[in-house]
Amino acid sequence: MSSHTPWTEADIPDLHGKTATVTGANTGLGLQTAQMLAARGAAVVLACRNKDRAQAAAARIRQTAPGAQVRTMLLDLASLASVRDAAAWLHAEYPHLDLLVNNAGGVHPRYRRTEDGFETTLATNHLGPFAFTGLVLDLLLASPGSRIVTVSSVGHRRGTINFDDLHFERGYRYQYAYFQSKLANLMFTYELQRRLASAGSATIALAAHPGNARTEFGRDMPAPVRVMMSPRLRPLTSWLMQPAEAGALPITRAATDPAACGGEYYGPNGWNEWTGRPVRVESIPRSHDADAQRRLWQVSEQLTDVTYHLAAATGQHGG
């Protein structure tokens, strides 16, 4: 199937024998992604901040997909301690990992710093996933053909990486913090893919975005945004927003399409990529700046104290 041919849930291949971890899987895109993977036979770990909500999501998946193999794991990407604990748990429970979906993310209208001193949006959307991926990389490298899928956004088009003020200490505008983090997701994916390929690894890194999906993501957003995302306005906003099920399809395509290749980016095929069927799409030229990718990588390693070991395609995980 061509990467420009639309994809449906029916195109997801059989996943029996595969193990996947999906972050932020208790609701919205993460839940839909996990549900689709589990329905096709994958053993899925729901990595979530809230234990009760994670267990409720697991019960929902088992109800819709009888016999589904679903487990839960605590993971707060805004806490490096939580990231390390979650990675340690995966190592204790699984000898390998076939798929990691870095889906969890957020946007914070009010300025906040994490316990590690990071601006919260950057921590949740980029630094946490960067650290978590590095810490479980050996599990992925141990499974030939494994994939790392990181969820970006159409908002990356307005993003810039402000290396002089990554944490917005000189003035905070939540939109730009979010746009920066979503651009970082793509730059991380492209640099990771380059490093995987250079190491001769069969593991690949891809990215996806959901378009404008109607989820709980906007619950902390200003009132006008919450109104636009309301299900009550669905008849008026169908051209602008699509259900979470549709938004999850680009993610599942990046995760499972046998024809997908490392470094590819998937999103909806409709106008402005807001809605539609999942196809391969292109990110802005700024996301392909190799020098900026390497600089972001180095800064991320310094901030998280996680180093990727890719000299050989097997072996150690990030420290």
How far apart are alpha carbons 60 and 244 in whole angstroms? 15
Pairing verdict, β 43-48 and 69-74: parallel
The one catalytic residue in 174, 178, 266, 308 is 178
Phi-psi region of 273 (alpha: psi -120 to 50; beta: other; left: phi over 0): left
Sequence-distant (≥ 6) Cβ neighbours of residue 91 within 8 angstroms: 136, 139, 317
Given the DSSP bridges, would you call strands 265-268 and 204-208 parallel, antiparallel or unpaired? parallel
CA distance linking residue 149 with residue 99, whole number of Å: 8
Name the nearest CA neighbour of 317 among 159, 15, 83.
Answer: 83
Secondary structure of the chain: what % helix, strand, coil (to 5)? 45, 15, 40
- 266 belongs to the catalytic site: no
Report the alpha-carbon angle 72-229-63, nearest 5.
35
Pair 179, 130: CB distance under 8 Å: no
Task: Give me 101's structure tokens.
Answer: 């979906």
Can you tell me the distance from the alpha carbon of 15 to that of 234, in angstroms, rounded to the nearest whole number?
33
Provide the 10 A C-beta neighbour count for residue 170. 8
Q: How far apart are CA 294 and CA 133, in angstroms?
A: 17
- In whole angstroms, how far apart are CA 34 and each of 28, 58, 144, 146, 220? 10, 9, 21, 16, 23
Query: Which single residue is written with the structure tokens 């810490």?
Result: 135
**How many CB atoms sit inside 10 A of residue 165's CB?**
11
By annotation, the residues acting in catalysis are 178
